[in-house]
Structure 1
Amino acid sequence: MTIRNNWTREEIAAIYNKPVLDLMYEAATVHRQYHQAGEVQVCTLLSVKTGGCPEDCAYCPQAARYNTGVTAHKLMEVGEVLQKAVEAREAGSTRFCMGAAWREVRDNRDFDKVIEMVKGVNTLGLEVCCTLGMLSPEQAQKLKDAGLYAYNHNLDTSENFYDDIITTRTYQDRLDTLENVRKANISVCSGGIIGMGEGEEDRIGMLHTLATLPQHPESVPVNALVPVEGTPLEDQPKVSVWEMVRMIATARIIMPHAMVRLSAGRVRMNLEEQALCFMAGANSIFAGDKLLTTPNPGYIKDQEMFQMLQLRPRQAYKEQLV
């Protein structure tokens, strides 16, 4: 199977809408061509600066304009973050991602502090990742020079539905940040959220944007909305496992090299539902009891799942070791 960046929406829609068992079978077959079955990367995501964000993302409990009960905290101290990174490594994580509720990175003391965090986590043998909002080319290069391995910046949804969810920055802003990250030779992590009221054509549209980038993201998180009281999306119904399976399987088929990350929403899935997602091509999860500010299964529960499904944790920097 050749890697393609010229997928059409119609081709992606035809894959997405296949009978679900056929779709899972095809995705599982592609997965085994490009990845070791049963190997899953365990990542930890830490909120290093929480709440008080000026953006209006309709799903986000950290937006200052919504009353969600999230207490705003200033940027954590470097030593505190490195301690959390050590704990994550001891619990089996091989990627450590630091998230700050910023609209964009500013060249100030806080950014200098994040640079120190990146350098410190890098010395622990973990793949170090950040999600800090919009980045300029110069800031991306600074992060790369400090040892940043990956940068997460999700598209969230399709370009057509985007304005229904966010009005404080444009879709092009997101694509520009991804381009700045790519040009700095940092691994790109970009996906989206389903269950925000979008249609299937929007899910297909988002996958089409990702799969037709000049280079596919190395990591594609697929999130199911976790509705938070106080946000505009607090009453959205739960996404079914079959919707997650379709997204994961389609992403696996059209972007075969990518790590497809079963991300937010896992806390509302039982073991069998998560197993279906792994079968459909997911090979990465976030571990720890929180994803920034939303609940997530704890380490112990995940260790039990790994034992039950006989999954193996993927080592850090694996593609560089091959």
Structure 2
Amino acid sequence: MQASIRHDWTRQEVAEIYHLPLMELMYKASTIHREYQQTGEVQVCTLLSVKTGGCKEDCSYCSQSARYNTHVEPHKLMTTESVVNKAKQAKENGSTRFCMGAAWREARSNKDFERVLDMVGQINEMGLEVCATLGMLDEEQAEALKEAGLYAYNHNLDTSREYYEQVITTRTFDDRLETIKNVQKAKISVCSGGIIGLGETDEDRIGMLTTLACLPTHPESVPVNALVPVEGTPMEGNKMVSTWEMIRMIATARIIMPQAMVRLSAGRTEMSTEAQALCFMAGANSIFAGDQLLTTPNPEEDVDMIMFKTLGLSPRASFKEEAKTKLEKDAVIY
């Protein structure tokens, strides 16, 4: 019998899971993972920064904020041809989801947004799941992206409601929830998780996961990012989190959101194959591939291919849930 899908988790319940002895936590998460997911299958995603730097936000961890003096040089929106070529390359390298990131506070309904819609349409036609992260969206923009063929939208909560203002002051926690609401209303899959290593407490991590698990619809993807400290940002002196902290986040997310893709995201360059294997055992079944995540390092594709071969992992096919639903409908009709 499968674990039930719930949207009424309390912080106390999530805290009790999060603080389980590590081996027991991993076992429980692995068991639920087997109930809801195909073991040995990992979604491979590629993230491209299509517009880099110059952002008005003051996110304390971000190298792309115009407020900080970092290594990032601002670049305008890439050409559609360049982005489409990058998507083709990603597909050839085994990615089934292609995410485009633009360093905007919010999407604006202008020529740049129209170009993004064109990019979405062309990449969708290639058979890739298209994802975007463009900042805040209103209802009309979300509808336009859906119509263009957008499959998923990334909008991380980053941390708990209580700690949020210690990280970002230029928009609110409720602003983020409003964008997620607009995206879900447009029937676009939501990709939303957070970052650990921002100086938050375990209670903050538990709070963030509880908020995600209590949304009316769980995010289809939940990225778990480890802060990669960037020189020039207020958090440049923060220490990298441990593998065990990543495992606790991944395992807890897997248990309270069983159907979600739990993504091992930023910070993988600091993790050995053995450490990543433990994360997969704890319920992670999605990674970002490529040598860079927006502006921070990431393992190269060939390194991941070797890891997949060593661990006996295989890439998840694009649009798998849609294909499964179609088969089920066809079976009923038959």
- Shared fold by TM > 0.5? yes
Q: After superposition, what is the alpha-carbon deviation per residue over 1:69-124, rounded to whole angstroms, capped at 9, x for unaligned?
A: 10000000001000000000000000000000000000100000000000010010
The residue aligned with 1:261 is 263
1:251, distance to aligned residue in structure 2 (A): 0.1
| 1:88 pairs with one of 66, 80, 90 | 90
Code of the residue aligned with 1:249 in structure 2: it is A
Count of paired positions: 322
What is the TM-score with the length of structure 2 in the denominator? 0.96
Q: 1:38 and 1:164 mapped to 2: Cα distance?
A: 38
RMSD (CA atoms): 0.4
1:37, distance to aligned residue in structure 2 (A): 0.6
| 1:49 pairs with one of 48, 51, 64 | 51
Alignment pair present for 1:149 and 2:161: no
| 1:33 pairs with one of 17, 32, 35 | 35
1:17, distance to aligned residue in structure 2 (A): 0.2
Code of the residue aligned with 1:253 in structure 2: it is I
The residue aligned with 1:3 is 5
The residue aligned with 1:178 is 180
What is the TM-score with the length of structure 1 in the denominator? 1.00
1:152, distance to aligned residue in structure 2 (A): 0.2
Q: After superposition, what is the alpha-carbon deviation per residue over 1:200-233, rounded to whole angstroms, capped at 9, x for unaligned?
A: 0000000000000011000000000000000000
Q: After superposition, what is the alpha-carbon deviation per residue over 1:168-213, rounded to whole angstroms, capped at 9, x for unaligned?
A: 0000000000000000000000000000100000000000000000
| 2:108 pairs with one of 89, 106, 109 | 106
1:315, distance to aligned residue in structure 2 (A): 0.3
Q: After superposition, what is the alpha-carbon deviation per residue over 1:150-177, rounded to whole angstroms, capped at 9, x for unaligned?
A: 0000000000000000000000000000
Q: 1:64 and 1:33 mapped to 2: Cα distance?
A: 45
Q: After superposition, what is the alpha-carbon deviation per residue over 1:18-46, rounded to whole angstroms, capped at 9, x for unaligned?
A: 00000000000000000011100000000
Unaligned runs of at least 5 residues, structure 2:
325-334
Unaligned runs of at least 5 residues, structure 1:
none
The residue aligned with 1:24 is 26
Code of the residue aligned with 1:86 in structure 2: it is K
The residue aligned with 1:192 is 194
Q: 2:300 and 2:41 mapped to 1: Cα distance?
A: 19
Q: 1:311 and 1:69 mapped to 2: Cα distance?
A: 35
The residue aligned with 2:277 is 275
Alignment pair present for 1:239 and 2:241: yes
The residue aligned with 1:208 is 210
Seq. identity, %: 68
Q: 1:62 and 1:118 mapped to 2: Cα distance?
A: 23
1:238, distance to aligned residue in structure 2 (A): 1.2
